[in-house]
Amino acid sequence: MSSPAVFLDRDGTLNVEKDYVYRYEDWEWVPGAVEGMRKLRGLGFRLVVVSNQSGIARGYFGISDVRALHDQVARDLLDKGIEVAGFYFCPHGPGEGCDCRKPRPGLILQAEKDLKIDLAHSYMVGDKRIDVQAAQAAGVHPILVGTGYGEKERATLPKGVPFVPDLVAAARQIEKAHKTDCKTAF
């Protein structure tokens, strides 16, 4: 049986936007990110991080560096009572033509297969238009947050895509939509 998830962009949504974060000591939580993740888990959503990591293709760091960072972040969150179902990342650079680099939906679709996710009842929260585009291409409900690049990207949003200040507000938005969904399902 499949279950809904909230796909989360990493840089600018969970951690403060900095150039090419790959070491845990450079990780800095966006204010409210952990609280928002806790609320989403409390609503019964699985959490899946999907992220472009072109620093790998550029030679700045390796795949093992990104995996080590994600493993530490996952341990950190588990210590706070928050489980992340998976971390998916694209190691390719812009223009390489892969299917996994957002705005393409490859990361979301791979997670759907691996984790048996119900995309029709899932959400994607990110700070860039490419996150919105990846969500729409995968059939997931997009939400743009104002953290990271979100405030700048707001003007490029397609009509009807919600914009909220941060992940806590996104969790509230999802909670409202989820309650409405549950009422109409019966």
Q: Which residue from 22, 36, 15, 25 is spatially nearest to 80, judged by alpha carbons?
A: 36
> Could you give the number of structural domains in the chain?
1
What is the rounded end-to-end Cα distance, in angstroms, of the chain? 18
Q: What CA–CA distance (Å, rounded) separates 73 from 94?
A: 26
CB 119 within 8 Å of CB 148: no
Q: Which residues are catalytic?
A: 9, 11
Range of the domain at 121: 5-185
| Token duo for residue 38 | 């806790």
Instruction: Name the token pair of 9.
Output: 């962009």
Alpha-carbon distances, residue 118 vs 4, 63, 123, 139, 154 (angstroms): 5, 28, 10, 10, 27
The CA dihedral of 114, 150, 163, 29, to the nearest 10 degrees, is: 60
DSSP 81-137: T----EEEEE-PPTTS--SSSTTSSHHHHHHHHHHTB-GGG-EEEESSHHHHHHHHH
104-156 per-position pLDDT tens digit: 999 999 999 999 999 999 999 999 999 999 999 999 999 999 999 999 999 99
Residues of the chain with pLDDT under 70: 180-186
Query: How many whole angstroms separate alpha carbon 21 and alpha carbon 153?
Result: 21
Gap between the Cα atoms of 32 and 134, Å rounded? 24
pTM: 0.95
Phi, psi of 57 (to 5 degrees): -65, -30
Q: What is the pLDDT of residue 182?
A: 52
pLDDT score recorded for residue 168: 98
Q: What is the CATH number of the domain that holds 23?
A: 3.40.50.1000
Q: With 0-12 CB in 10 A as exposed, 13-18 as middle and 19+ as buried, what is 113?
A: exposed
Write down the residue that tokens 């979301």 correspond to: 108
